[in-house]
Structure 1
């Protein structure tokens, strides 16, 4: 996993409430166990027309979305089934963070384990962001994970919550298993001290 420190990016705005994991990555794409290529199927039922051509009206198919690393979503993002493919598809497209007023717990946990930062903001901040990025689509937002801080285009700042363990893993580009493996020397020392016969 790539370490997450600070990103400065344009923002894709999809302010729809209750976007579930089947909308993020439809079930027909879940036959794979590899993350590779899932970004092409992100929001597939909205992104493509029935004939398979890109829907020109959908925001991910518009030029300003290319290279954007932040998704601004509506409330209750990632609800529905617990598929880990949802954060895989989001990161496969290039997103590093999703901003919402609430996340489904399982989606939030899966995201943190896969290098995708769920940024929780209050309703007023969310509306301010929607207004800003709707009015000026090319504006940029900064997310500073070390400070747990969003820096908006007008330079106003707001902090977001994240637990210390998840923050540490993201900053170091590791998951739970990688964290434990990094403690191998301490674990061995503890075992020798307490369990040697």
Structure 2
């Protein structure tokens, strides 16, 4: 009888410990999951500047100033993460990326872009940028597939704030990650 009691007690303790460990793992996995829409760009800029992400929530590319998020970048050759976080109640259907207001800017290099919502994301290298955003010939760009980057340069000696509207790849990616919450 005593042996049966010990076996039952051991089984109960093992079950409780196992469940506790599973719950701890779940909490750790969800700890880094952001509960809002965000875009993270790994980039470098020759000079300090400000980038913007405009967004719409109505399925159009009608971008308004009230739907813009700004983030700064320090000048220099090192890559930095520039993050745009939206509040929980904002759910974009389209995004536009603007790379700098500094008219003295020399160049901006985009290495990676990650779009995330509740831990679901899509990301791409800078060299794939124009699969997700529309190339605009008024801005001078150079793609380096080996480094996985796109560089935005002055055109005719002038740096004009480059902005890029979403291509179908970007729209499809946003629909895919926002269609269901985790």
TM-score by length of 1: 0.26
Identify the structure with bigger relative contact order (alpha carbons < 8 Å, sequence gap 6+): 1
Query: Which structure would you say has the larger Rg?
Result: 2
TM-score by length of 2: 0.27
Q: Which has the higher strand share?
A: 2
